[in-house]
Amino acid sequence: MAHKIKGKAFVLGENIDTDQIIPAEHLVYSLDDPEEKKYYGQYALSGVPRSQSGLPQGEIAFVQEGTFESEYAVVISANNFGCGSSREHAPAALQIVGVKAVIAPTYARIFYRNAVDGGFVVPFESEIDLSKEISTNDAIEIDADNNELINITNGKNYALKSLGSVAEIIKAGGIFAYARKNGMV
């Protein structure tokens, strides 16, 4: 895991479920085939209603049509991010599209575990609902060593909760890489 993650923020509302992160009709692509896998990036967050996206009507989408990567490195959401089914395709789609981290006050437990165990994206928990403090397109930096988010656009700093014991799993690249590194497998 990078100690610092920099990029543009993409802000979402609450209760973003796994079918909004990657709609079920796009689960036909293989995660093992590089040519098919990229489509998870193209359709990442395509199920989020515009009313929950934090984007005014007419503004750019999370992924530009016809592309497979997003210009946004960090997703910031309100409570209960990743609720719904237990599909690990959701955090995988975010990684494939180029997201490095998600920040929310609370997560659905299964999404959080899938994100950590698969080494897909870093699920930071915020002390407050940052979806009300950060705007889509703000330039931000996450300082993982100091558990802090810096909004470069407006100069404000915000506390993040410590990753605790999952930090080593994330740093290793997922639960299986962690287990191999520590002689557990």
Question: What tens digit of pLDDT does each residue of 15-63 get?
Answer: 999 999 999 999 999 999 999 999 999 999 998 887 666 665 545 578 9
2 pLDDT above the threshold of 80: no
Task: Report pLDDT for 54.
Answer: 61
Contact 30, 36 (CB under 8 A): yes
State the pLDDT at residue 60: 55
Tell me the pLDDT tens digit for each residue of 112-145.
Answer: 999 999 999 999 999 999 999 999 999 999 999 9
Percent of the chain with pLDDT over 90: 84
Set out the domains of the chain in order of their start, with CATH numbers.
4-181 (3.20.19.10)
**160: helix, strand or coil:** strand
| Helix, strand, coil tally for the chain in percent (to 5) | 30, 20, 50
Mean pLDDT score across all residues of the chain: 92
Residue whose tokens read 């036909």: 28
Task: Give the list of residues 6+ apart from residue 162 with CB closer than 8 angstroms, or none.
Answer: 147
Buried-exposed string 26-35: b where 16+ CB fall within 10 A, e elsewhere: beebeeeeee
How large a percentage of the chain has pLDDT more than 70? 93
Tell me the pLDDT band of 96, cut-offs 50, 70 and 90: very high
Give the pLDDT confidence score for residue 22 in this predicted structure.
Answer: 95
Confidence of residue 13 (pLDDT cuts 50, 70, 90): very high
H or E element, residue 167 = helix 166-172
